[in-house]
Amino acid sequence: MIPTIENLCSQGTGDDQPILQLFDDKTFKIVDGAKATDVFDLGDFAFPTDGFSCISLDVNLAGGELTLFDNGLAPIVPVVPDLDADTNYARGIMLKVSYPTEDINDDTIELSDKNVILSIETVESTVFVDVPVYNLYIHFANPRSIDPLDLINRIKITNPNTLFKVDVTGLIIYGKTPE
């Protein structure tokens, strides 16, 4: 059970707090006590891939920042670059963030303090948009599009926490543009 969750949600408290959980049958379910309700079925999910990278990273304290991928498509304003034929571009990413239970002072880390920031740069804007993430992030773009505007150009992850580092594991999926 997730510790000290009672202050975060109005539904339930402590050990009887409903939780979202991924099951072996490829479904996310809300578990409320002994009852589990189907919420989201991934049993028919498939995504074509021409390559992949598995990552396992430590993100340091207080602003530690890492680039997770860079498609190298920064536009020269006002022109958006074309995608090169027969080239792999990052088209999907799955990230899991793991947190320690105690900070560098041996104090328990509250659930409300566990967060990282994903900075996402689109090809069109060249401006990063910050998205707060707790422990799971998934994004899949069209796997065969030849339009650079359909892709995320870069994703960075930042740990804003000053008292603990985080571990990030992930899978980056690449799709090749047609020749």
Report how far residue 94's alpha carbon sits from residue 39's, in angstroms, rounded to the nearest whole number: 19
C-alpha Rg value of the chain to the nearest Å: 19
CATH code of the region 51-176: 2.60.120
Structure tokens at 115: 């967060």
Sign of the dihedral defined by the CA atoms of residues 101, 105, 109, 115, in that order: negative
Tell me the three state secondary structure of residue 26: coil
| Contacts (Cβ under 8 Å, ≥6 apart) of 126 | 74, 75, 77, 153
Ranges of residues in the chain whose predicted pLDDT is under 50? 1-9, 12
Write down the pLDDT at residue 1: 39
Write down the pLDDT at residue 174: 93
Write down the pLDDT at residue 77: 63
Q: Taking CA 128 as the corner, what is the angle to CA 46 and CA 118, rounded to the nearest 5 degrees?
A: 55
Write down the pLDDT at residue 15: 60
Mean pLDDT for the chain overall: 85
Write down the pLDDT at residue 61: 65
Write down the pLDDT at residue 14: 56
For the chain, the domains span 1-46, 51-176
